[in-house]
C-alpha cells in the first residue's frame, strides 16, 4: 500500500468519532482530500464532501461513514465512578474490562469499564450478562469532586483507539467499521485525480450512521447522484 494512503487510514482510525462527535476524524478527512479534490466542503450535518469535476454528468457518489459506536457520560457517583449510556448498538457481553478514553475538553482521559467485584456478585448476577447500567468507567478518581473536575456530563467515550497489525497483512482497530469505507471512498477519488472523465464524482465521509443512517440520507439529498455506492 502507498505509504501516504496507509497513514491516512491510520490517522482516521486514531481520531475519535462517536456518532454526533465526528469532527476530529472529519478534520483528518478534509486535510487529506484537499490534496487532490477540486472541492472539499462540510455540509450543515457534518458530512465531508470531496468532489472532482462537480459540473459534469452523471453524478456519482461514493460514501462511507466515519462515525463509530461509543458511549456518553451520564452520571458521576460519590466514589468518582462514571455511569454511561451507549451511542449505537453494543454487545454488552464484551464491554467488561475494556480500556476506554473519555474525550474531555482538556483532552482524553484513560479509564477502564468495570462492575462489582465477582466475590460480591449474587449467584443470579454471576450467571447472566450484565446490563449497561450495571457497568461504569473507572478513571482512577478518588471522589466525585475529583472526577467532576476532569469529566463533564455529556463527554463522549470511545474504546481505546489505535492501529494494530496482525499476520498475513491484516490489521485491527476499534473504528474499522466504517472508517475503512471512508478510506476506500476517498482513495477512489484520489485515483481519479488527473484522469479525464465526463461524470462528476463525489466521495463522502458521512456522519451518524450508527444511530440511523442520518448523514447518508442528508448528503444523498444534497448531491442528488444518479448512482450512489455505499462502502460498509
Cell 444511530 sits on residue = 211
Separation of alpha carbons 65 and 216, rounded Å? 8
- Best CA proximity match to 224, nearest among 59, 28, 54, 47: 59
Residue 60 neighbours by CB distance under 10 Å: 21
Helices (H), 22-86: 23-33
Record the cell numbers describing residue 64, joined without a space: 462511507
Q: Is 209 a catalytic residue?
A: yes
Question: Which residue stretches of the chain are H helix?
Answer: 3-14, 23-33, 123-126, 144-148, 176-192, 214-223
| Of 207, 206, 208, 200, the residue nearest 224 (C-alpha) | 200
Pairing of strands 136-138, 107-114: antiparallel
Cell numbers for 187, please give them.
482513495
State the Cα–Cα distance between residues 69 and 75, nearest whole angstrom.
19
Among 35, 160, 165, 209, the one annotated catalytic: 209
Which sequence positions are flagged as catalytic?
209
Amino acid at each position: 500500500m502507498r505509504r501516504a494512503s496507509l497513514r491516512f487510514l491510520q490517522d482516521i482510525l486514531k481520531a475519535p468519532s462517536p456518532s454526533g462527535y465526528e469532527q476530529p476524524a472529519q478534520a483528518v478527512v478534509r486535510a487529506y482530500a484537499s490534496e487532490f479534490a477540486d472541492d472539499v466542503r462540510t455540509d450543515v450535518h457534518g458530512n465531508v464532501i470531496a468532489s472532482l469535476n462537480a459540473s459534469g454528468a452523471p453524478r456519482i457518489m461514493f460514501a462511507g461513514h466515519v462515525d463509530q459506536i461509543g458511549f456518553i457520560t451520564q452520571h458521576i457517583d460519590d466514589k468518582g465512578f462514571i455511569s454511561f449510556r451507549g451511542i449505537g448498538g453494543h454487545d454488552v457481553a464484551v464491554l467488561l474490562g475494556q480500556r476506554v478514553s473519555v474525550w474531555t475538553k482538556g483532552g482524553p482521559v484513560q479509564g477502564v469499564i468495570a462492575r462489582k467485584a465477582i466475590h460480591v456478585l449474587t449467584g443470579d448476577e454471576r450467571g447472566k450478562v450484565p446490563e449497561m447500567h450495571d457497568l461504569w468507567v473507572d478513571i482512577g478518581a478518588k471522589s466525585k469532586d475529583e472526577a467532576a473536575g476532569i469529566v463533564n456530563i455529556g463527554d463522549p467515550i470511545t474504546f481505546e483507539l489505535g492501529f494494530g497489525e496482525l499476520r498475513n497483512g491484516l490489521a485491527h482497530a476499534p473504528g474499522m467499521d466504517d472508517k475503512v469505507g471512508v478510506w476506500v471512498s476517498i482513495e477512489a477519488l484520489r485515483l481519479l485525480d488527473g484522469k479525464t472523465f465526463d461524470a462528476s464524482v463525489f466521495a463522502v465521509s458521512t456522519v451518524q450512521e450508527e444511530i440511523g443512517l442520518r448523514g447518508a440520507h442528508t448528503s444523498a439529498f444534497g448531491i442528488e447522484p444518479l448512482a450512489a455506492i455505499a462502502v460498509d
